[in-house]
C-alpha cells in the first residue's frame, strides 16, 4: 500500500512520547511575549511553528513538506469529496478528512499570517488521538508515517471521485513514490520483481558516505550466480530503480539493537552526503555499464588494499609491539654510526664492590691490565645504589650512545649503504602513496562522465535528530532557492544558516546530532519549488493570492484578531505614554514654580513658621497626626508623625545620617533667615552629597543605590520633580521628630502615577537585590536546591530592570554565571544519585531534574548565550551517556521516561515555581549582606576558581 513503509521499530526507534507527556497542561508563566509586536512577522520571513509539547518532530516534517511548493499547492487546493456524506462513516474518514482540513488551515497561516509563528495544536491533536488507545510508548517515525498515510488516504478518496471508471491517480503517490526492479536468485532460481518504494531506508553503520550506503542497499546476499551460466544454490538480489519519484527521501537508520542490553542505541558515526546527488548508477537502464564499473571499482579496491598493506609495512616497521617508519629507523642507525666513537663504558665509573658510604674504586678501562680478584668478604657485600652520585657520568662520556670502535672505512661503507637504503625506502613510500591517491581519484571519477550524470537530485531538506535512541530533539535545514541559502527551522525560530552549519550538525561525529532523513528533489523538475503564476496577468502569486477563497477568509479573520490585539496593545501603551507626558508637563510647570519661589524667597517679607503644638489636630486615623503648612509659590506640605517612638536602625542608616548632617549644617541659616531658607539649604546640601555618590566609581560591594533611592534615581535620569519630591519626603521621616522644623512631607502637584512608577521601580530593584543576595549566600553554602529559585528570579527580574536602563539593575553576566553554575551543580548531584541505583536516591535525583533543572533549561536556551548553551549540552550529554550502560530494567524505564523532557529544545516555559518568599531585610542589613557576599565573590574570582 502506497506511503505505508515497512518500519522496523527496533532499528528506527527514536524519541518516546508517552501519554502523560502528550497531555501536559501546566500553566505558562514566561511564554509568549505580552507585546504582540514581538510576535509580529517581519516582511515575508518564513513562519515558525510553536512547540506544543514534544512536537519538534512535527515541526521539522511539516516545514520540509511545506517548502515543497508543489506539495504546498496540493494541500492548499484540496477539497473534500463532494459526496463525503455518502461515504461509509468509519473511523478513517472521520479522522483523515478533519486532519486534512486542519493541515490546510495550518498551511494557509504559514503562507499569509502576520504572526512570526503559529500554533499547530489542532492538527497535532488529531494525529495524537490515533495513538490514545495504546498504552505503550510511541516513537516519532510512527507519527511521521501516520501523517503521510492520512494524506494518501485523503487524496485517494478525492481521486476516486474525480475519475469514476478510470484508474485514479493519487498526487501523493506521484510525488513521493517510485519503483525498483529486484533481480536475483533464490535457491538457484532466477527471478525479477517490480516493487514500489517511498522513503528508502539506508543503513549507516560501516559506511562513510551516502553512495556507499546506496551501493550496499542495492545488493543483498551473494549474487555471483546472476552473472554465471552455472546454476548454483546461492541466493541474493540486486535492486535497480526503474522510476524515481520527484521527491526522493532517504531514511538513515542510525539506530541498531544492542542484544546484550536489550535496547536500541544510536550510531553517531560520521556519514557524508552531497548537495547534488546523481542517481544514474542505480538506474535499471544503466545496469550493464554500472556492473562493469562496479567490477572495475572492486578490482581497484583489491589493488588498493594490497598497496595499503605494503605501505603500512614501510610506515610501521618491526616485529615487536612497537613499530616505527622504516626511513626513520635507517636515519637513527646512520646517526648512531656517525657519532664520535668512545672508549669508556657508561658503567665503568661505578664500583659495585665499594663499601656503603665509601668512595668508588679506580676506573679500569680496557688498557688497565688484570685486576686483583675480590676477597670473600667483598663478594658478600651488597651493592648500594646511590642516585645522583654513583650514577653520574664522567665528564668525557657523551650523553648519547655511540660506537666503541669503528674505522673510517667501516663508517664510509655503512653511511653509503644507509643513505642509499633510506633514499630507496623514501622513494618506495612516495610511489605507494602516489598510487593509492591515483586509485582513490579514479574511483571517485568512475561515474563522472556525462552519460552517468543525467539524473540529478538536489538536496532540499535535512531533518536532524539530536540525542540518543530513546530521546531527542528534531529540527530541519531547508534550502531556499530564491535566496540561495539554507534556512534552519527550529520550532518557532527560523533563521538563516549555511552549508557549513548543516554539515556540522548533520554529518554526525559532532556532539549527539546527525541527520536521520534526507529529502532530495529532481533538479530537472523545477515545478516542485517554483511559485505559481496567475493565468491572466502572468504575475507570480504570493501571500494571500495563493489561497483559495475559504482559506483567504480564514487567514483574514486570524490576522484581524492579531491586528486587534496589536491595536489594543498600542492604545494601552499610548494611554500610558500620554499619562507620563502629562505628568512630565505638570512636573515641569511645578518645577518652574518652585524655581521662581526660590529666586524670590530672599526678598519675600513673608516667612512661614511651623505652627505651635496646640494647633495640631488629630484626624480620623488614630495614632497619626497631620498639620498642613503653606509655603509661598511652592505648595502645601503635610506634617506627618506617628506615635510609638523612634526607629534606632533607621537613625543609623547612611540615608538618615546624611539628612541629620544637612540639618545640622543649615542651623545657622535657620537663625539668620528663618525656617524656609534653612529648609532649602538642608535639601541642597543633601542633594549635593547624593550627587557625589551617584557620580563615583565604586566597587561592586559598595553599591550606593541600595543606601539611597535618590542615587538610584540620579543614575537612571529620573525626572527632576521625582527627585525633588522624594528628597522632600526624606525630611518627613518620623525619626526626625527631634527637630520639628524639618518634619514635613511634600504633596506638590506632581503626577501620582509617575511618582509611583519610579518608586515601584526602586522597590523592584531592592526586591531583585534581596533575591540576588539570598541566592548567592545559599550558593556559597552549597545549598543549591534553595539557591536556584532565588538566582532564577533575580536573573529574570534583573533582566526586566536592565531593559529600562543600564543602571536599573545589577551585573547580568555575574547573575547568569551563578544561575548556570547552580544548575550544573544540581545536575551533578542528581546524576550521582541516579548512578547509585538506590531507589530513594534515584527518585530524589530525578525529582531534582524534573522539578528544578528541566523547567529552567528553556531559560538558558532563550537568548543564545554561549556559556548557557554549553552548560545545557553538558547536562544532556551526562544523562545521555547512561543509555549505553547496563542497568536494572526499572532504572532503564525511568531514564527512558525522563530523557525526552531533558532533550526537548523548546524555548517556551510551560511550568515554573512560584517565587520564593523573601526574607525581611532592613536597608542597613541588606547593604551589609550585599557588601559581604560581593566581597566574597570577588575573592573567589581573584583566586581563579
d(CA 138, CA 130): 11
Same-domain check for residues 297 and 204: no
Q: Average pLDDT, stretch 929-941?
A: 79
**Confidence check: pLDDT of 604 > 60:** no
d(CA 785, CA 361): 72
Same-domain check for residues 294 and 264: no
Residue 827's pLDDT is 94
Q: Average pLDDT, stretch 297-314?
A: 93
Backbone angles phi, psi at 522, to 5 degrees: -65, 120
Do 719 and 751 form a contact (C-beta atoms < 8 A)?
no
Q: Average pLDDT, stretch 522-548?
A: 83
**Confidence check: pLDDT of 3 > 60:** no
Select the more confidently predicted residue: 444 or 911. 444
- The verdict on residue 353 lying in a domain is no
**Confidence check: pLDDT of 486 > 70:** yes
Same-domain check for residues 217 and 311: no
Residue 425's pLDDT is 94
User: What is the CA 884 to chain-centroid distance, rounded?
Assistant: 23
Residue 741's pLDDT is 47
**Confidence check: pLDDT of 234 > 80:** no
Q: Which cell numbers in the block locate residue 867?
A: 556559556
Residue 265's pLDDT is 74
Same-domain check for residues 202 and 296: no
Residue 592's pLDDT is 57
What strands lie across the sheet with 236-243, from one edge to the other? 189-197, 178-186, 236-243, 219-221
Across 48-52, 400-404, 619-623, 935-939, least confident range: 619-623
Cα distances from 686 to residues 28, 690, 714, in angstroms, run 46, 6, 13
**Confidence check: pLDDT of 742 > 80:** no
Q: Average pLDDT, stretch 196-209?
A: 89
**Confidence check: pLDDT of 936 > 80:** yes
d(CA 239, CA 510): 33
**Confidence check: pLDDT of 685 > 80:** no
Residue 9's pLDDT is 33
Same-domain check for residues 294 and 211: no
Highest mean pLDDT, choosing among 48-57, 95-104, 230-239, 353-362: 95-104
User: Quick one: how many helices (H) and strands (E) in the chain?
Assistant: 29, 22
Select the more confidently predicted residue: 466 or 906. 466
User: What is the CA 897 to chain-centroid distance, rounded?
Assistant: 22
pLDDT per residue over 146-165, tens digit each?
A: 777 888 888 887 777 766 65
- The verdict on residue 869 lying in a domain is no
Three-state DSSP class for residue 944 = coil
Residue 58's pLDDT is 84
- The verdict on residue 426 lying in a domain is yes
CA-CA-CA-CA dihedral for 76, 82, 88, 92, to nearest 10: 0
- The verdict on residue 660 lying in a domain is yes
- The verdict on residue 97 lying in a domain is no
Residue 237's pLDDT is 86
Domain endpoint, select from 750, 770, 790: 750
Residue 325's pLDDT is 93
Select the more confidently predicted residue: 690 or 627. 690
Query: Across all residues in the chain, what is the average pLDDT?
Result: 75
> What CATH number has the domain bearing residue 258?
3.90.70.10
Select the more confidently predicted residue: 748 or 290. 290
Residue span of the structural domain in which 262 resides = 178-223+234-244+247-271+473-524
Across 260-274, 491-505, 813-827, 829-843, least confident range: 260-274
363 is annotated as an active-site residue? no
Same-domain check for residues 289 and 337: yes
**Residues 465, 810, 880, 927: which is the catalytic one?**
465
Select the more confidently predicted residue: 477 or 631. 477
Do 37 and 566 form a contact (C-beta atoms < 8 A)?
yes
**Confidence check: pLDDT of 296 > 70:** yes
d(CA 316, CA 323): 5
Q: Which cell numbers in the block locate residue 899?
A: 530523557
Residue identified by cell 532649602 is: 680
Tell how strand 255-258 and strand 617-618 pair up: unpaired
> Nearest CA to 552 among 111, 44, 37, 36?
111
Highest mean pLDDT, choosing among 454-458, 514-518, 623-627, 649-653: 454-458
Residue 718's pLDDT is 80
- The verdict on residue 419 lying in a domain is yes
Residue identified by cell 532504572 is: 891
**Confidence check: pLDDT of 357 > 70:** no
484: alpha, beta or left, given left = phi > 0 and alpha = psi -120 to 50? left
473 is annotated as an active-site residue? yes
**Confidence check: pLDDT of 379 > 60:** no
Same-domain check for residues 328 and 424: yes
Residue 671's pLDDT is 62
Select the more confidently predicted residue: 474 or 222. 474
Do 85 and 161 form a contact (C-beta atoms < 8 A)?
no
Residue 263's pLDDT is 66
Give how many domains the chain has, as a whole number: 3
Q: Average pLDDT, stretch 223-227?
A: 52
Q: How confident is the model at residue 589 (pLDDT cuts 50, 70, 90)?
A: low
> What whole-number percentage of the chain has pLDDT above 90?
29
Select the more confidently predicted residue: 636 or 853. 853
d(CA 57, CA 79): 27
Backbone angles phi, psi at 189, to 5 degrees: -105, 130
> Nearest CA to 646 among 655, 633, 631, 656?
656
CB-based contacts of 487, cutoff 8 Å, min separation 6: 46, 477, 478, 479, 480, 494, 495, 496, 497
Q: How confident is the model at residue 758 (pLDDT cuts 50, 70, 90)?
A: confident
pLDDT per residue over 706-719, tens digit each?
A: 777 878 888 888 88
Residue 803's pLDDT is 86
Same-domain check for residues 325 and 441: yes
Q: Average pLDDT, stretch 793-808?
A: 88
Q: How confident is the model at residue 86 (pLDDT cuts 50, 70, 90)?
A: low
Residue 360's pLDDT is 43
d(CA 308, CA 32): 60
Listing DSSP states for 558-573 in one string gives HHHHHHHHHHHHHHHH
**Confidence check: pLDDT of 181 > 50:** yes
Select the more confidently predicted residue: 777 or 899. 777
Same-domain check for residues 656 and 512: no
Same-domain check for residues 266 and 406: no
Domain endpoint, select from 685, 716, 750: 750
Select the more confidently predicted residue: 356 or 811. 811
Same-domain check for residues 492 and 448: no
Residue 828's pLDDT is 94
Residue 722's pLDDT is 74
> Nearest CA to 253 among 459, 64, 14, 55?
14
Across 10-14, 397-401, 860-864, 916-920, least confident range: 10-14
Residue 820's pLDDT is 93
Do 22 and 127 form a contact (C-beta atoms < 8 A)?
no
**Per-position b or e across 768-794, b if 16+ CB within 10 A of its CB:** bbbbbbbbbbbbeeeebeebbbbbbbb
CB-based contacts of 579, cutoff 8 Å, min separation 6: 751, 753, 754
pLDDT per residue over 853-891, tens digit each?
A: 988 888 888 777 888 888 988 898 888 878 667 788 888
Q: How confident is the model at residue 232 (pLDDT cuts 50, 70, 90)?
A: low
**Residues 211, 239, 460, 473: which is the catalytic one?**
473
User: What is the CA 612 to chain-centroid distance, rounded?
Assistant: 70
**Confidence check: pLDDT of 223 > 90:** no
Same-domain check for residues 191 and 255: yes
For the chain, how many residues are written?
Answer: 945
Domain endpoint, select from 734, 750, 766: 750
- The verdict on residue 265 lying in a domain is yes
- The verdict on residue 723 lying in a domain is yes
**Residues 56, 213, 822, 927: which is the catalytic one?**
56
d(CA 124, CA 121): 5
Q: What is the CA radius of gyration of the chain?
A: 42
> What whole-number percentage of the chain has pLDDT above 70?
68
**Confidence check: pLDDT of 602 > 80:** no
Across 295-304, 748-757, 872-881, 913-922, least confident range: 748-757
Residue 90's pLDDT is 57
- Say what angle helices 549-600 and 91-112 make with each other, to 10 degrees: 50
**Confidence check: pLDDT of 350 > 60:** no
Residue 29's pLDDT is 32
Do 237 and 256 form a contact (C-beta atoms < 8 A)?
no
Amino acid at each position: 500500500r502506497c506511503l505505508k513503509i515497512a518500519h522496523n521499530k527496533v532499528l528506527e526507534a527514536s524519541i518516546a512520547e508517552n501519554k502523560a507527556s502528550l497531555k501536559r497542561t501546566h500553566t505558562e508563566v514566561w511564554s509568549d511575549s505580552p507585546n504582540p509586536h514581538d510576535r509580529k512577522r517581519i516582511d515575508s520571513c518564513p513562519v515558525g511553528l510553536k512547540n506544543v509539547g514534544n512536537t519538534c518532530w512535527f515541526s521539522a516534517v511539516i516545514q520540509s513538506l511545506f517548502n515543497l511548493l508543489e506539495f504546498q499547492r496540493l494541500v492548499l487546493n484540496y477539497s473534500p469529496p463532494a459526496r463525503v456524506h455518502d461515504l461509509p462513516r468509519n473511523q478513517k474518514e472521520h479522522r483523515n478528512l478533519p486532519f486534512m482540513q486542519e493541515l490546510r488551515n495550518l498551511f494557509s497561516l504559514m503562507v499569509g499570517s502576520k504572526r512570526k509563528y503559529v500554533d499547530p495544536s489542532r492538527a497535532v491533536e488529531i494525529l495524537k488521538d490515533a495513538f490514545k488507545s495504546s498504552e505503550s510508548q510511541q516513537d516519532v517515525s510512527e507519527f511521521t508515517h501516520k501523517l503521510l498515510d492520512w494524506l494518501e488516504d485523503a487524496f485517494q478518496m478525492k481521486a476516486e471521485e474525480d475519475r469514476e471508471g478510470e484508474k485514479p491517480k493519487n498526487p501523493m503517490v506521484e510525488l513521493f513514490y517510485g519503483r525498483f526492479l529486484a533481480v536475483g536468485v533464490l535457491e538457484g532460481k532466477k527471478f525479477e520483481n517490480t516493487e514500489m518504494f517511498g522513503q528508502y531506508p539506508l543503513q549507516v553503520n560501516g559506511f562513510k558516505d551516502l553512495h556507499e550506503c546506496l551501493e550496499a542497499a542495492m545488493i543483498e546476499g551473494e549474487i555471483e550466480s546472476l552473472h554465471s551460466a552455472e546454476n548454483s544454490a546461492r541466493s541474493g538480489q540486486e535492486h535497480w530503480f526503474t522510476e524515481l519519484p520527484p521527491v526522493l527521501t532517504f531514511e538513515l537508520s542510525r539506530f541498531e539493537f544492542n542484544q546484550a542490553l536489550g535496547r536500541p542505541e544510536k550510531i553517531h558515526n560520521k556519514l557524508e552526503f552531497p548537495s547534488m546527488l546523481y542517481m544514474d548508477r542505480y538506474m535499471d537502464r544503466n545496469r550493464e555499464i554500472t556492473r562493469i564499473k562496479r567490477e572495475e571499482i572492486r578490482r581497484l579496491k583489491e589493488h588498493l588494499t594490497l598497496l595499503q598493506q605494503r605501505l603500512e609495512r614501510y610506515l610501521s616497521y618491526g616485529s615487536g609491539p612497537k613499530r616505527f617508519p622504516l626511513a626513520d629507523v635507517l636515519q637513527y642507525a646512520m646517526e648512531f654510526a656517525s657519532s664520535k666513537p668512545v672508549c669508556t663504558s657508561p658503567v665503568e665509573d661505578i664500583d659495585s664492590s665499594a663499601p656503603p658510604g665509601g668512595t668508588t674504586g679506580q676506573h679500569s678501562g680496557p688498557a688497565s691490565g688484570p685486576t686483583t680478584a675480590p676477597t670473600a668478604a667483598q663478594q658478600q657485600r651488597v651493592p648500594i645504589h646511590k642516585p645522583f652520585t654513583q650514577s653520574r657520568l664522567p665528564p668525557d662520556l657523551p650523553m648519547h650512545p655511540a660506537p666503541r670502535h669503528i674505522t673510517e672505512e667501516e663508517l664510509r661503507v655503512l653511511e653509503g649503504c644507509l643513505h642509499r637504503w633510506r633514499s630507496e625506502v623514501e622513494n618506495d613510500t612516495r610511489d605507494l602513496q602516489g598510487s593509492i591517491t591515483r586509485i582513490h581519484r579514479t574511483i571517485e571519477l568512475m561515474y563522472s562522465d556525462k552519460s552517468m550524470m543525467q539524473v540529478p537530485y538536489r538536496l532540499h531538506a535535512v531533518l536532524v535528530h539530536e540525542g540518543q535512541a530513546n530521546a531527542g530533539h528534531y529540527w530541519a535545514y531547508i534550502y531556499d532557492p530564491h535566496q540561495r541559502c539554507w534556512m534552519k527551522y527550529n520550532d518557532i525560530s527560523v533563521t538563516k544558516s549555511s552549508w557549513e552549519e548543516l554539515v556540522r550538525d548533520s554529518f554526525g561525529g559532532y556532539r549527539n546530532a546527525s541527520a536521520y532523513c534526507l529529502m532530495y528533489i529532481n533538479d530537472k523538475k523545477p515545478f516542485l519549488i517554483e511559485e505559481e503564476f496567475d493565468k491572466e496577468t502572468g504575475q507570480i502569486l504570493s501571500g494571500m493570492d495563493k489561497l483559495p477563497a475559504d482559506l483567504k477568509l480564514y487567514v483574514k479573520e486570524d490576522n484581524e484578531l492579531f491586528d486587534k490585539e496589536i491595536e489594543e496593545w498600542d492604545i494601552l501603551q499610548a494611554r500610558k505614554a500620554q499619562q507620563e507626558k502629562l505628568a512630565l508637563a505638570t512636573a515641569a510647570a511645578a518645577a518652574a514654580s518652585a524655581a521662581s519661589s526660590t529666586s524670590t524667597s530672599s526678598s519675600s517679607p513673608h516667612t512661614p513658621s511651623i505652627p505651635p503644638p496646640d494647633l495640631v489636630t488629630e484626624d480620623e486615623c488614630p495614632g497619626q497626626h497631620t498639620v498642613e503648612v503653606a509655603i509661598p509659590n511652592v505648595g502645601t506640605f503635610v506634617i506627618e508623625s506617628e506615635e510609638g517612638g523612634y526607629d534606632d536602625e533607621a537613625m543609623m542608616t547612611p540615608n538618615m545620617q546624611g539628612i541629620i548632617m544637612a540639618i545640622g549644617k543649615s542651623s545657622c541659616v535657620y537663625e539668620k533667615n528663618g525656617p524656609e531658607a534653612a529648609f532649602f539649604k538642608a535639601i541642597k546640601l543633601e542633594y549635593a552629597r547624593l550627587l557625589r555618590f551617584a557620580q563615583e566609581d565604586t566597587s561592586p560591594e559598595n553599591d550606593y543605590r541600595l543606601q539611597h533611592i535618590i542615587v538610584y534615581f540620579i543614575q537612571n535620569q529620573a525626572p527632576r520633580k521625582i527627585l525633588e519630591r522624594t528628597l522632600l519626603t526624606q525630611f518627613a521621616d518620623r525619626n526626625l521628630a527631634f527637630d520639628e522644623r524639618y518634619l514635613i512631607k511634600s504633596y506638590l502637584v506632581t503626577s501620582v502615577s509617575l511618582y509611583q512608577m519610579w518608586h515601584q521601580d526602586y522597590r523592584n530593584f531592592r526586591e531583585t537585590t534581596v533575591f540576588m543576595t539570598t541566592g548567592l549566600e545559599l550558593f556559597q553554602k552549597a545549598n543549591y536546591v534553595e539557591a536556584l529559585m532565588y538566582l532564577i528570579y533575580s536573573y529574570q527580574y534583573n533582566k526586566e530592570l536592565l531593559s529600562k536602563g543600564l543602571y536599573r539593575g545589577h551585573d547580568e553576566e555575574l547573575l547568569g554565571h551563578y544561575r548556570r553554575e547552580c544548575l550544573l551543580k544540581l545536575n551533578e548531584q542528581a546524576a550521582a544519585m541516579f548512578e547509585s541505583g538506590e531507589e530513594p536516591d534515584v527518585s530524589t535525583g530525578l525529582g531534582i531534574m524534573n522539578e528544578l533543572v528541566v523547567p529552567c533549561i528553556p531559560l538558558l536556551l532563550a537568548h543564545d548565550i554561549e556559556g548557557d548553551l554549553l552548560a545545557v549540552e553538558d547536562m544532556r550529554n551526562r544523562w545521555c551517556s547512561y543509555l549505553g550502560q547496563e542497568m536494572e530494567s526499572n532504572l532503564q524505564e525511568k531514564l527512558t521516561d525522563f530523557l525526552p523532557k531533558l532533550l526537548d529544545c523548546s524555548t517556551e516555559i510551560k511550568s515554573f515555581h512560584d517565587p520564593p518568599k523573601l526574607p525581611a531585610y532592613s536597608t542597613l542589613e541588606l547593604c551589609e549582606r550585599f557588601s559581604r557576599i560581593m566581597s566574597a565573590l570577588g575573592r573567589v574570582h581573584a583566586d581563579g576558581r
